[in-house]
Amino acid sequence: MTNCTQVGIEFPGCKRRRVEASFTGGEITSDGGVLLLREVDRRLRLTESVAAVLEDPRRRKSCQHDLLSLLQQRVYGLALGYEDLNDHQSLRKDAALQTALNRDDALASSATLCRFENRADRAMAVRMHEVLLDQFIASFRRPPRRLILDFDATDDAVHGGQEQRFFHGYYDQYCFLPLYVFCGRRLLVSYLRPSRIDAAKHAWAILALLVKQLRQVFPTTRIVFRGDSGFCRWRMLRWCERHDVGYIVGIARNERLAVRTEPLMAAAERYRAALGEPVRWFTEFRYAAGSWDRERRVIAKVEVTALGRNPRYLVTNLKGEAQRLYDRLYCARGDMENRIKEQQLDLFADRTSCHRWWANQFRLLLSSLAYVLMEALRRLALRATPLARAYVGTIRLRLLKIGAVILRNTRRVRLLFSSHYPEQRLFRTVVARLVPG
């Protein structure tokens, strides 16, 4: 029987010309911008620093892939949009990724990467967080006047039999409950937790460790703790007061708070009814819940709109006018929600599908390393450009997912981009800012 192999693919013609396709183009990549990630990584020495603190129990002479190349392959892959280990079965042969890893042969297989992830343990997670904090500190040329540490928890849905898998009533699903700490757009902590705990669990200990480390480097910097009502715990507030840490934290609505603001709320409703316009007023008073050790300053937003009452309450030890603290300081924490979305939607921080707990924590940290690279690319190379405040997914689409023909010989590696690539000027600007000389 004759074995026929189809070489070309025929498509309908175009203006009297035949349209043919074939898989004979040689080495072509859809990720030509990966070299930008390499340059950012070299600038920060991020993966190099992480690889230096990780233990490698393997027999070195039998290993084809060192820790650094395994780490870079996984982190760069996440930044490029490849969430699954199975993607690396074909990605390992991509010439652009090989070049970014300073290799010219096949990279690690998905099985090798899987074993790499499953070697994770608690000590590894601690050391990686130390590197994240060191990177944050090193990003400042001079001590900042103030650092605002944003704490927030989110749900990470799980669909298998993972360790520490529990049902969460609020989210109505089986999930993990990771805790994130950001300072502006910079990521400091991504800590995986089971979901059967209080949302503020371990936040106090993490805050204490961060304050201790930051004050060793920035002794005169004012540190402010900011969080929603899930982190309003009086012992944590008392610790902040004793250690000269500012705080501004939400408080959940309750009857006692409602009674304190009822006269102003009633007046706002009358004003709204008379003028037909939304009313938004602020007041403040001293308040202590039944379990608190003493009274603290509470700021209340009294708002009435066409939808009805919309009160909000904060507790703070910061000085300043109530509305300014609420609008300028507390509401700014909403930007942290966007950073968490970047982590989960664009960098696959919720891909915690390993059975073992520490392997899932390691995956969360790999996503965090990818975020640090992308945030550094945005901060160092995209300032004063149209992408200066772009989301990770937009940066990936415009600068990293670039088709290129790759030509390799013994003397050079050439990436040939399209002559009509629309972001040529921006790409050249980024390279000029990242590559020395």
Q: What is the pLDDT of residue 394?
A: 96
Q: What is the pLDDT of residue 33?
A: 95
In three-state form (DSSP H/G/I as H, E/B as E, the rest C), the secondary structure along 200-232 is CCCHHHHHHHHHHHHHHHCCCCEEEEEECHHHC
204 φ, ψ (degrees, to nearest 5): -60, -50
Percentage of the chain exceeding pLDDT 70: 98
Say whether pLDDT at 1 is over 90: no
> Average per-residue pLDDT in the chain?
93
Q: What is the pLDDT of residue 5?
A: 59
> pLDDT-derived band of residue 3, with 50, 70 and 90 as boundaries?
low
> pLDDT-derived band of residue 402, with 50, 70 and 90 as boundaries?
very high
Mean pLDDT value across residues 172-178: 95
Over the stretch 360-399, which tens digit does the pLDDT of each residue have? Answer: 999 999 999 999 999 999 999 999 999 999 999 999 999 9
Q: Work out the end-to-end distance of the chain between its first and last CA atoms, rounded to an integer number of angstroms.
A: 62
Percentage of the chain exceeding pLDDT 90: 86
> pLDDT-derived band of residue 43, with 50, 70 and 90 as boundaries?
very high
Please state, in angstroms and rounded to a whole number, the distance separating the CA atoms of residues 54 and 103: 21
> pLDDT-derived band of residue 97, with 50, 70 and 90 as boundaries?
very high
Please state, in angstroms and rounded to a whole number, the distance separating the CA atoms of residues 418 and 320: 55
Say whether pLDDT at 22 is over 90: no
Over the stretch 99-155, which tens digit does the pLDDT of each residue have? Answer: 999 999 999 999 999 999 999 999 999 999 999 999 999 999 999 999 999 999 999
Say whether pLDDT at 301 is over 90: yes
Q: What is the pLDDT of residue 70?
A: 96
Please state, in angstroms and rounded to a whole number, the distance separating the CA atoms of residues 432 and 430: 5
This prediction's pTM: 0.93
Say whether pLDDT at 4 is over 70: no
